[in-house]
Amino acid sequence: MPIVSRRISLALALQAIGVACVGGAGIALVVTRQPVGSSFTNALTPSLGADGLSGFFLATLAIVAVASLVFAIGYLAAAPAARALASLTGCFVLVLVGLVCARDVVSFLAFWELMTVLPAATILVARQSRTVRRSVFVYLAVTHVGGVGVWVSLLLLAHIGAFTNPHAFAGASTAMQTAIAVGAIVGFGTKAGLMPFHSWLPRAHPIAPSHISALMSGVMIKLALYGLIRVEFSWTGARLAWVPYALLALGALSSVGGILYALVQHDLKRLLAFSSIENVGIIVLALGAAGLLLNHGLRDLAAIAFAAALFHTLNHAVFKSLLFLGAGAVERQLRSLELDHIGGRALAGAREVVVKHVD
């Protein structure tokens, strides 16, 4: 193995060990329910910390990232720009951790923007065709236009002091409350791939290197849901009666629309991307149900619905990331992700095995 390749493998292995330690710390936070570091602040100064919800998403991130980094050791071995891709992968994982641990609006928004830009840079380094550049442009354009809602929502929350005062949102004007809620749903919903804000997702996920696709589908879109949970349940307290109905409607649209689009796809990774849209819709359906039950005073049932949303977040993160990694292995072996081609090769391989066995 060349020295450069060994260095890249060592770097990826060390990244995997580091993020595994982060995941262990996340599990400890969930179990102990003792926050560490800074608490949320309205000040525009960098602050980092973590609580139980952060711990859950850190643990989920670690499970996906460790598998993706280990897979990348072999996947990037023959890549033309392996060193750059390994570096961008490590930065992407670090930014995902930073977003979960951000405790002020400036840090959150900085990590949020980096979380958008780094996958785009990785795609452009890995693939340099006109079609890929066009798809990356659509990805950046849609996520940044929709991401304006995140900026509006968080800056307004910081302005009224909602990060530290649970009653601040209730005292805000109706117009401001609406702007915060709509901004959060549009902004975080766009990055999560909710319909009708989903157009970037089936374009970006299929063209990314498979370990990056796993991180994007398994973790990145889940962190958008993390942000939505913080706004709609922590800082606004699910006080607006229409918000749960909006989440239920968007969740239902994404669940049905995502799977219908997936059924007619011929590219394996594009099919998986639409499946992610469907599963995000299922999670948002559970969040909408939790908010609706909470508004009706059914706290125990709301907790069950919320727990179901978190459970499926972990479930989808694990199985979809493994599916994207599996798609990468298939692409490496067969040089194609077209389902018709893959199916034909599989049948030919099975026939060859049977013939050899008979002979």
Count structural domains, the chain.
Answer: 1
Q: Would you state the pLDDT for residue 355?
A: 34
Asked if residue 49 is part of any domain, the answer here is no
| Cβ(140)–Cβ(116) below 8 Å | yes
Residue 211's pLDDT band, with cuts at 50, 70 and 90, is confident
Asked if residue 53 is part of any domain, the answer here is no
Q: What is the DSSP string of 98-143?
A: HHHHB-SHHHHHHHHHHHHHHHHHHHHHH---HHHHHHHHHHHHHH
Whether pLDDT at 230 is above 80: yes
Residue 347's pLDDT band, with cuts at 50, 70 and 90, is very low
Whether pLDDT at 317 is above 80: yes
Asked if residue 346 is part of any domain, the answer here is yes
Name residue, tokens 């706290």. 299
| Cβ(119)–Cβ(92) below 8 Å | yes
Q: How far is CA 7 from CA 10, 18, 67, 73, 340, in A?
A: 5, 16, 19, 10, 38
- Quote the percentage of the chain above a pLDDT of 90: 31
Of the ranges 70-74, 202-206, 332-336, 342-346, the best mean pLDDT one: 70-74
Residue whose C-alpha is closest to residue 89's, from 65, 67, 56: 65
For residue 279, give every residue at least 6 positions away whose Cβ sits within 8 Å of its Cβ, in sequence order, or none: 258, 312, 316, 320
Q: Within a 10 A sphere around the Cβ of 3, how many other Cβ atoms?
A: 7
Q: Within a 10 A sphere around the Cβ of 18, how many other Cβ atoms?
A: 18
Taking the C-alpha atoms of residue 19 and residue 290, their distance in angstroms, rounded to an integer, is: 31
Q: Would you state the pLDDT for residue 285?
A: 93
Q: What is the pLDDT averaged over residues 146-172?
A: 86
Q: Which domain holds residue 316?
A: 108-358
Whether pLDDT at 346 is above 50: no
- Look at 349 and 48; give whichever has higher pLDDT: 48
Residue 349's pLDDT band, with cuts at 50, 70 and 90, is very low
Q: Would you state the pLDDT for residue 100?
A: 93
Q: What is the pLDDT averaged over residues 218-239?
A: 86
For residue 196, give every residue at least 6 positions away whose Cβ sits within 8 Å of its Cβ, in sequence order, or none: 253
pLDDT digits (tens, 9 = 90+) for 106-137: 999 999 999 989 998 988 888 878 888 888 88
Q: Would you state the pLDDT for residue 344?
A: 52
Whether pLDDT at 353 is above 70: no
Q: Would you state the pLDDT for residue 101?
A: 92
For residue 76, give every residue at least 6 positions away whose Cβ sits within 8 Å of its Cβ, in sequence order, or none: 8, 12, 82, 85, 86, 209, 211
Q: What is the pLDDT averaged over residues 240-260?
A: 90
Q: Within a 10 A sphere around the Cβ of 348, how many other Cβ atoms?
A: 10
Q: What is the pLDDT averaged over residues 333-338?
A: 67
pLDDT digits (tens, 9 = 90+) for 1-58: 455 477 888 888 888 999 999 999 999 999 988 888 888 888 888 889 998 899 999 9
Q: Would you state the pLDDT for residue 252?
A: 93
Residue 359's pLDDT band, with cuts at 50, 70 and 90, is very low
Taking the C-alpha atoms of residue 89 and residue 215, their distance in angstroms, rounded to an integer, is: 9
Asked if residue 73 is part of any domain, the answer here is no
Q: What is the pLDDT averaged over residues 273-294?
A: 91
What rounded mean pLDDT belongs to the chain?
A: 84
Asked if residue 85 is part of any domain, the answer here is no
Taking the C-alpha atoms of residue 357 and residue 359, their distance in angstroms, rounded to an integer, is: 6
Asked if residue 29 is part of any domain, the answer here is no
| Cβ(146)–Cβ(190) below 8 Å | yes
Taking the C-alpha atoms of residue 255 and residue 10, their distance in angstroms, rounded to an integer, is: 40
Residue 74's pLDDT band, with cuts at 50, 70 and 90, is confident
Q: Would you state the pLDDT for residue 358?
A: 39
Q: What is the DSSP string of 14-56?
A: HHHHHHHHHHHHHHHHHHH---EEPPP-SSSS--BEE-HHHHH
Asked if residue 17 is part of any domain, the answer here is no
Asked if residue 250 is part of any domain, the answer here is yes
Residue whose C-alpha is closest to residue 72's, from 7, 117, 12: 12
Both tokens of 150, joined, read: 């995140």
Taking the C-alpha atoms of residue 121 and residue 108, their distance in angstroms, rounded to an integer, is: 20
Q: Within a 10 A sphere around the Cβ of 16, how many other Cβ atoms?
A: 22
